[in-house]
Structure 1
Amino acid sequence: MSSKQLALAVTVASVLSAPAMAADWFIGGGVGAQQNTYKGAGQGVDPEFNNDYFSIKERENDAVYEVRAGAYLNDNNRIYTTYSYNSDDLAKQQSLLLSYDYLLGLDASNKLNWFVGATAGVNHVSPDTSYLSSKDRFVWGGQTGLMYKINDNLSSEIGYRYLKQDYDAGISTDAGSASFSLDDSQQVYLSVDYRF
């Protein structure tokens, strides 16, 4: 079993076991900024460019929107699933992620918590060109940030998430060939959750 399959299996097993252990369920949503790192390479058959090889690396920044639901298993552990949407100049992405966080109280009342965790899931990438096809790909990574408990039902957090992407595509025509990949995504987000 590959490390990707193992990470996904552990995350899925944790989420599926939540109903038996969960103390507090929550739902929420957030907004933020996402930076995507794209890479491309190719070789054109054009006498003007002498059949030159080209290579690019570009970072695109745009908004990310998310909704999520999960459970606090106790004061220090939570699991949740997140749907997020991001669109930039090169592609649209929709992600379904399963995450686990460990929370560490930073004050006596546990109102302010630092969290760190792992994420795995599926990302649907739709490039903004008819030459490349849309694909579902495995993503994995981690997140960290600060969560503040406003009252018994509301909390807010600011976080950072890194996702390793696995999207690769290529085209080949009489004029040449090119490859395109989405290497990774980084998110900074602000969210609000309702606990019930």
Structure 2
Amino acid sequence: MKTKSLILASVMATAISAPTMAADWFIGGGVGAQQNTYKGSYDPVLQNPIEGGSQTQHLKETENNVIYEVRAGVYLNDANRVYGTYSYNSDDLSRQQSFLMSYDYLVGLGDSNKLNWFIGATAGMNHISPDASTLDSKNRFVWGGQTGLMYKINDKVSTEIGYRYLKQDYDVSGPTPTPYSGAVAGSETASLNDSQQLYLSVDYRF
């Protein structure tokens, strides 16, 4: 918990200082793909003595679905920016809504400085709503980083392609009062360790 608090505090401190250092504010939006790898298990209340041993079933499934995002922030100068992002992702197992704060360091590539490589850190909150009615929705702290390429189309408009990794800590359990895969009632667990995003966005400076 201490590590998570320090990560969030560092990103927030940079963002709070933005108004006094601001050069260019921007708004934008993007679309991409998010990969979520879930793990889970089902443990029946009644064990079948004929089969012998535990009949616990384990599941590992990777979901790839579209992610949508909107964001707003500020370029402190040519090499630093901070921004907040809201993103939405839905797959067969859950729906996720993320509220993230990010910082990027930009490195100009070439004399024109139109193409920039960026790398940075992200921290925030993710709300996960499982499709299984027996599992509760949860708010979870997430953190990670991103990198990619940003291209300035003109003084107002830029576009970028990026990759973001988010470390998650989602782990829930609940009863299964109705038959599951033909088995008797029992309990199930679900966890999501991390998510990976590949996105394309367009920003407007003002």
Q: Aligning the two structures, in what range does the TM-score lie when normalised by the shorter sequence?
A: over 0.9
Aligned counterparts of 1:35 and 1:74: Cα–Cα separation in 2: 33
Equivalences for residues 94-105 of structure 1 within 5 A: 94-105=97-108
Matched, 1:33 2:43: no
Structure 2 residue aligned with 1:54, among 54, 57, 64? 57
Provide the secondary structure at the position in 1 that maps to 2:113: coil
Provide the secondary structure at the position in 1 that maps to 2:133: coil
What TM-score comes out, normalization by structure 1 length? 0.96
Corresponding residue number in structure 1 for 2:24: 24
Aligned counterparts of 2:40 and 2:176: Cα–Cα separation in 1: 16
* Letter in structure 2 aligned against 1:32: G
Equivalences for residues 78-117 of structure 1 within 5 A: 78-117=81-120
Q: Is the 8 A contact 2:34 2:65 kept in 1?
A: yes
**TM-aligned CA deviation for residue 46 of structure 1:** 4.8
**Larger deviation: 9-18 or 173-182?**
173-182
**TM-aligned CA deviation for residue 167 of structure 1:** 1.0
Corresponding residue number in structure 2 for 1:70: 73
Matched, 1:9 2:19: no
Provide the secondary structure at the position in 1 that maps to 2:111: coil
Q: CA RMSD in A?
A: 1.4
Provide the secondary structure at the position in 2 that maps to 1:73: strand
Aligned counterparts of 1:54 and 1:90: Cα–Cα separation in 2: 17
Post-superposition Cα deviations, 1:41-77, rounded to whole Å, max 9, x if no partner, equal 2322353765412222111010000000000001100
What TM-score comes out, normalization by structure 2 length? 0.91
Aligned counterparts of 1:143 and 1:122: Cα–Cα separation in 2: 16
Corresponding residue number in structure 2 for 1:194: 204
**Identical residues among aligned pairs (%):** 68
**TM-aligned CA deviation for residue 7 of structure 1:** 0.4
Tell me which structure has the larger Cα radius of gyration. 2
Question: Which stretches in structure 2 are left out of the alignment for 5+ residues?
Answer: 178-184
Q: Is the 8 A contact 2:134 2:175 kept in 1?
A: no
Aligned counterparts of 1:177 and 1:90: Cα–Cα separation in 2: 17
* Letter in structure 1 aligned against 2:113: N
* Letter in structure 2 aligned against 1:190: L
Post-superposition Cα deviations, 1:89-144, rounded to whole Å, max 9, x if no partner, equal 00000000000000000111110000000000000000011100111100000000
* Letter in structure 1 aligned against 2:3: S
